[in-house]
A and B are shown apart, each in its own frame.
Chain A
Amino acid sequence: MRKLTGLLLMGGFVLYLVSLVPGLFNATTPTALDSVGAAIIEDSRTTSGSANVVTAIVVQYRGLDTLGEVTVLFVSALGVAILASGFRDDVFRSMFADDDGGFILQYGGRLLMPFIVLVGVYIVAHGHLSPGGGFPGGVLIATAVFILILTGQSARMPHRLLSILEGAAGLGFIGLGALGFLGSELSFLTNTLPKGEYLTLLSAGFIPFIYAMVGIKVASELTTVVSVLTEAPGHESGKEEGRS
């Protein structure tokens, strides 16, 4: 019965996906945007100065929602950290610390890791110009750190530094949003910084700065999640045994 239900659900999902294909079921697929989308695309160049309209929507038009998303991510990272560390605040060694993982992982990881960080920083910094932004860029940086953990290069994570970075980035987000009170509109998360020249790196007012804050916050939170999951409390802490 459960399998039948699952199959029915899956069939419905197939129909949903098939109906998304334009021109397959209905010949009159709308090609123009509806009222809200068209209005935002027309408005976003003057209001936000961001070339990527998706970024303009995420950071400016629904900036408060993004703040909420960041908060949700923070709460989930906090929960994982508390659960995985077993309510003990000693710092444990990574379970990959004694295992170098073999030649290919060791040197391939060391070779790839800076480039992955570079791509992550690029995606964060160019969020207002090209696809991407703070969330995927931060995830990429956290993934690069996980490669470092896998190769056993980082026996201990600087958790204090990570939490300071994370809190400072959150405060920076709120501070940049509070700059909106300086403008004439007197509202939170209003883009009051100078817009700069369209399609350059330092344009779009506070959007690149907020995305940098989101990138730092996401990267440090997810690095904490991944490293806490690899630091097993059952595993012997490196305090007693001499670390080589």
Chain B
Amino acid sequence: MTTWIVLAISVLLVLMALAAVFSRSLASAVIILSTLSLFAALLFVLVAAPDVAITEAAIGSALTTVVFVLALYRTRNAACADDDAPKNAADESSAVTRSTLEVPRA
């Protein structure tokens, strides 16, 4: 039984990784990766590695997401050194980031 749960979670992890790779906006990719980390932690528990599971749940799904979202938010506001440079991925994610994170009222 555990074997089939582990197998199902593994397939789910691969599907989530594909979704993160092919997702249009960086913000949703970050959230998908966070969910992937949670399921990976579950997988580690099932294969009897609780140490790795705790670390994966804390770092992968909590801290990495926080740092990524904050970095996306900060790079949106950053002044571009070269305005003629091709638009980077931060631009297309900015709309999603803006709707996710409320701009603080100054």
Return the contact of A143 from the options B7, B13, B66 (Cβ within 8 A): B66
Beta-carbon contact of B70 and A136 below 8 Å: no
User: In the complex, what residues of A have CB within 8 A of residue B17's CB?
Assistant: 10, 13
**Contact of A229 with B10 in the complex, beta carbons under 8 Å:** no
Counting chain A residues whose Cβ lies within 8 A of the other chain, the interface size class is 35 or more
A99 close to B105 (CB less than 8 A): yes
| B78 → A minimal CB distance (Å) | 8
- Is B89 interfacial (CB 8 A cutoff)? no
Q: Are the CB atoms of B62 and A143 closer together than 8 Å?
A: yes
Given contacts A21-B6, A236-B106, is CB(A84)–CB(B74) below 8 Å?
yes
| Cβ 8 A contact of B58, one of A6, A98, A140 | A140
A21 touching B77, Cβ below 8 Å: no
With A225-B67, A230-B70 as contacts: A132 and B54 at CB distance below 8 Å: yes
Residues of chain A within 8 A of B104, CB atoms compared: 95-99, 235
A13 B14 Cβ-Cβ under 8 A: yes
Judge if B96 is at the interface, Cβ distance under 8 Å.
Answer: no
- The residues of B that contact A17 with a CB separation of less than 8 Å are 10, 13-14
Would you call A18 an interface residue if the criterion is a C-beta within 8 Å of the partner chain's C-beta atoms? yes
Assuming the contacts A132-B54, A139-B62, asked whether A226 and B106 have C-beta atoms less than 8 A apart, the reply is: no
Which residues of A in the span 44-86 have a Cβ within 8 Å of any Cβ on B?
52, 54-55, 80, 84
For B11, the closest partner residue in chain A by CB is A14
Q: Which residue of A lies closest to B10 (CB)?
A: A17
Q: Does B63 contact A (CB under 8 A)?
A: yes
A55 and B51 alpha carbons, distance in the complex (Å):
9
Pair B63/A142 contact, Cβ less than 8 Å? yes
Q: Enumerate 16 A-B pairs (CB-CB under 8 Å) in ascending A order.
A: A24-B7, A80-B67, A95-B104, A97-B104, A131-B54, A132-B54, A133-B51, A136-B59, A139-B58, A140-B62, A142-B63, A222-B63, A226-B66, A229-B74, A235-B104, A235-B106
- Given A10-B14, A21-B3, A225-B67, 18 additional A-B pairs, CB 8 A: A6-B21, A13-B17, A14-B10, A17-B10, A18-B10, A21-B7, A95-B104, A98-B105, A131-B51, A132-B51, A132-B54, A135-B59, A136-B55, A139-B59, A140-B62, A142-B63, A234-B77, A236-B106
Give 7 closest A-B pairs by Cβ, nearest first. A131-B50, A17-B10, A229-B70, A139-B58, A136-B58, A99-B104, A136-B54
